Structure 1
Amino acid sequence: MSFDLFLSWTAAIYWVVAMTLLAMSIVGTVLQPRIAARRAMRRDQPPVSIVLPVKLLEEGFERTQESALAQDYPCFDVTVSATEPESPAVASMRALFARHSERPSRVLLSTARFAASPKVDNLYAPFMQANHDVILMKDANVLLEPDALAEHLRQLTDDVGLVCAIPYCDRLDNFASHVEAAIINGPHARMLFLASCLGQGHGVGKIMLFRRSDFLRAGGFDAISHTVGEDNALAKAMRRIGKRPVFSHRPVRQELGSRAFEDVYQRQLRWSVIRRNDELLSFLLEPICQAFPAVIAGALAAPLIGWTPFSGFAVTFLVWFALETLLSMAKGWQLSLTAPAVFVVREAMMLAVWVNAWMTDRVVWAKDKVHARVAAQPAPPAQKEG
């Protein structure tokens, strides 16, 4: 067999695997809410402590944070944690608390400095001082529907240790935000939806719902403080004590607004480095979930069926783009007339991020450079700020 023929057959096999995975993940994305809802067996509604770590006051902050205070749920309180006693974000939260005076709420000052992730430092005080055993942590750019807490809690059955929700992006105000949404709503979301359909759960930190008693039994902060991927570390810790991580039947809405390309790149690089450190096999297989390698494989395999390389390239590109576009339309995700350009830029960025992730351990978190994995220090006592 000549080298050219060997290359064509190898590309053909790769193409078939990549396109099959694309089709399976699209079907999984459509079916996941129904399949996961059947596993949501919990019916009681215990009291819950909602934790909102804050740092930056970004566009849409007030709307997304107020959604946590407006939950249609019988008994919950809200704790804000911050590294500064006064900041624009804290001031905004105090104003929200005043508007919802019926809801028990407080601000805690996080002085802990022991973890690889500043976010974990910020979570130490509210997790340890929560009033209730069940805790829901929510990121600042996540918008909760009024029944979100009640619906996510249905997944927290006796054998489940961690409930996360698969994020999708909305309120896309510029080209860069459309590119980031194409990454998150595209390969990232599709593979998570497929994993959920297959009964697999992973840590995704936009929301995390768990019992503090399980968290402490799984090692507490010692189990998550070594990495900026605390969500994935928590999922692994729960598995070690026999508690499953699961994805909720409800996805969670992440509002992007306007984005800068540099911020989008750095955020994707951080997540990619985390996956390289914590889930190497998954990281190694990531290119097969991306369109660009499949397009190249289509071009190389095309002569096997009498097509020109350009025909294989073009058909693969158009089919992949069309299937993802139809999926976005079916899910009601925001699209724009620039979608073809977004698709091309997304593929270029994802490949660049994947390559770059091999060469660095320094990542950006909330505009600060941190190491993705370090030796953690013992946690100091948390201090309370009224």
Structure 2
Amino acid sequence: MIQLNRRLPATGQPPEITLIRPVCGVDPFDEMTLGSSFRLSPPAAEILFCAASESDAAVPLVRRLIAEHPRVNARLMVGEQRISGNPKLNNVARAWDRAAHDWIAMADSNLMLPPDYLATLSAAWTPGTGLVSSPAWGWQPRGMAARVEAAVLNGNQARVQLAAAALDAGFAQGKTLFFNRRILNKAGGLAVLGRELAEDVAATKAIRSLGLKVRLVPRPFAQPIGRRSWRAVWDRQLRWSRVRRAGFPALFLLEPLNGPFLPALMVLPLGILPALAVIGLWYAAEAVLALRAGWPMGPADLAASLVRDLMLPAIWVATFARPGFTWRGNDMAPARPAE
């Protein structure tokens, strides 16, 4: 176990934090989500936006937001530093090295940051912590395909991730990663996050290798969904499924157990009514969780949850067709073991 001397200030106030936000292209909600970076209380000590190229469509938006908030210490860094096969890591590598502070929060461009974002991350950093993270919950879905994606985020991924954290087995999600740079450097630095298909899987393994824990914030942060096509939802879920298969293969084999249908089949010999009761209780519990958390939940959202649970087994099977995927024009495959 590493004996940390990099504890949070005893005053209870967040430390000086560098906020890093990589951008790549422009999504419909980007002005709102990126703009939330400037409304934090307490504010970030510095905000570093990262774009791989000056020609990226997000660059004019970021420059305008910075100009509209002249009192905020924010700047745009343009250019990649090739440290891995992961384009997101290559995009943020220069910002990671040049950040003025060792406490660094990385937030995806499509994540809505509440005013207390940094305070919430800091409060979750308890003794023995090496990384604070959070799932994202699907906000403002428009249309059934988008509701299905929100149902995956809220009733499936967030549920599993929060349950794991409650069992002291928390794991990271790349939407939010809050590090102390010196701790990650002990595990090999930012480049070590490129050893897996996704940086959150690699971060979880790196922090655990140091004998430290991944902690989650009590309430996930919102990700606006908007409209989605069915193809986009399928491709995104298939990509995440392949990430999980490559990163945690043993757990991935158990994923078909994560749903109401197998328990219903197990009680089916007792009759159709007990089986239907199991399914009903499953979705009732999901509805209660969503309502208490303030997540979308109504008749259409319940229907989307059913569609999700019918779709995920098909995605699980399709995952075995190939080991990698294409993300934003980049072919990504699991790293080969060193010979």
Match of 1:280 in 2: 249
Match of 2:333 in 1: 372
Of structures 1 and 2, the one scoring higher in RCO (CA 8 A, sep 6+) is: 1
Match of 1:191 in 2: 160
> Equivalent of 2:187, from 211, 215, 218?
218
> Equivalent of 1:124, from 89, 93, 96?
93
Could you tell me how far apart the structure 1 residues matched to 2:208 and 2:275 are? 42
Could you tell me how far apart the structure 2 residues matched to 1:178 and 1:297 are? 29
> Equivalent of 2:288, from 314, 319, 326?
326
Task: State how 1:1-386 maps to structure 2 within 5 Å.
Answer: 43-73=12-42, 76-299=45-268, 301-302=269-270, 307=271, 310-366=272-328, 368-374=329-335
CA displacement 1:248-276 (0-9 Å, x = unmatched): 12311111111111111111112111111
* Secondary structure, aligned partner of 2:215: strand
Normalising by structure 1, report the TM-score: 0.80
* Secondary structure, aligned partner of 2:322: coil
Tell me: CA distance 1:268–1:41, structure 2 relative to 1, closer, same or farther (3 Å).
farther
CA displacement 1:91-147 (0-9 Å, x = unmatched): 111111111111111111232344232112112111111111110000111111101
Could you tell me how far apart the structure 2 residues matched to 1:197 and 1:285 are? 19
AA matched with 1:330:
R
AA matched with 2:317:
V
Tell me: CA distance 1:51–1:283, structure 2 relative to 1, closer, same or farther (3 Å).
same
Normalising by structure 2, report the TM-score: 0.90
Structure 1, 316-325 or 203-212: larger mean CA deviation? 316-325
Could you tell me how far apart the structure 2 residues matched to 1:158 and 1:342 are? 40
AA matched with 1:360:
R
- Report how many aligned residue pairs link the two structures: 330
The runs of 5 or more residues in structure 1 that have no matched partner are 1-39, 377-386
* Secondary structure, aligned partner of 1:224: helix
Could you tell me how far apart the structure 2 residues matched to 1:119 and 1:348 are? 32
8 Å CA contact 1:298, 1:313 repeated in 2: yes
AA matched with 1:214:
I
Shift, 1:351, TM fit: 0.7
Could you tell me how far apart the structure 2 residues matched to 1:158 and 1:295 are? 42
8 Å CA contact 1:117, 1:370 repeated in 2: no
Shift, 1:340, TM fit: 4.3
CA displacement 1:300-341 (0-9 Å, x = unmatched): x32xxxx2xx33443232222222122222222112432343
Shift, 1:290, TM fit: 1.4
* Secondary structure, aligned partner of 2:168: coil
AA matched with 2:81:
A
* Secondary structure, aligned partner of 2:33: helix
8 Å CA contact 2:80, 2:92 repeated in 1: no
Could you tell me how far apart the structure 2 residues matched to 1:336 and 1:114 are? 45
8 Å CA contact 1:362, 1:369 repeated in 2: no
Match of 2:4 in 1: none
User: Over aligned residues, Cα RMSD in angstroms?
Assistant: 2.2
Could you tell me how far apart the structure 2 residues matched to 1:279 and 1:250 are? 25
The runs of 5 or more residues in structure 2 that have no matched partner are 1-8
What is the percent sequence identity of the aligned residues?
A: 29
* Secondary structure, aligned partner of 1:171: strand
Detail structure 1 runs of 4+ shifted over 4 Å in the superposition: none
Could you tell me how far apart the structure 2 residues matched to 1:337 and 1:76 are? 44
